[in-house]
Amino acid sequence: MIEMQEKSAASGSKQAATPIKVRKIGHVVYRVSDVERSVTFWTEVMGFKESDRNEQGMVFLRNASDHHTIALVAAEPGAVLGNPNDKSALGLHHFAMEVGSVDELFGIREFLKSKGVKITYEGRRGPGSNPGVEFLDPDGYQMELYAEMEQIGWDGKSRPSKFWSRATSLEEVVANPVPTE
C-alpha cells in the first residue's frame, strides 16, 4: 500500500475515486478453540441461528436473513488468543453489533451476567456517542453490543468532541444524555 502511494506521489498522478461502495459489513469469520462451545455461546447467549456446517467443520451462523453473519473455524489445539489491548501486536481489538435501544442494553447486561459472561465495559466511550456493553466470548474475543450510534448528517461532519459525553455505566448514559448544543 505504501509503495502504491509513493509511486503515485512520485509520478504526480492524481488518484481516481475508488469504485468500491461497500453496502454493509457482511460477516466475520474467526478461529475458536472449541467450535461447539462457541456455537452454544452464539446460539444460546447471542441468539443467532445455525445455517450450515461445511465438510471441514466450519459453522455458519445468522442473525437475520443473510445465510451467515458469523462463521466459526476451529483453531489448532493449544492455540491462544493474544491480548487485544497489546498495541505491539496485530489483531482484532473487538467487533460490535447494534441492538434496538439503550433499554435493551439494560436487559442484555443482566442476561450476560446471568450466563456468566464477563463484562469488560459498559457506558459510552466518546466518538460515535454510542452506549454499549462490552464483554468477552468463550475464547476471550472482545465484543460490543451497542445502540444509538451517532449518524453523520448531510454536511458530513461528526459531533464535536466536547459533546461526546463519556459515561462509565448504562445508568450514567441515561442520566447524562449526549448534549445537542
Which pLDDT tens digit goes with each residue over 110-163?
999 999 999 999 999 888 889 999 999 999 999 999 999 888 888 888 888 888
Q: Of 21-25, 105-109, 164-168, which range is least confident?
A: 21-25
Cell of 14: 492524481
- All domains of the chain in start order, with CATH: 26-79 (3.10.180.10), 91-181 (3.10.180.10)
Q: Kindly report the pTM of this predicted structure.
A: 0.80
Residue 13 banded pLDDT, cuts 50, 70, 90: low
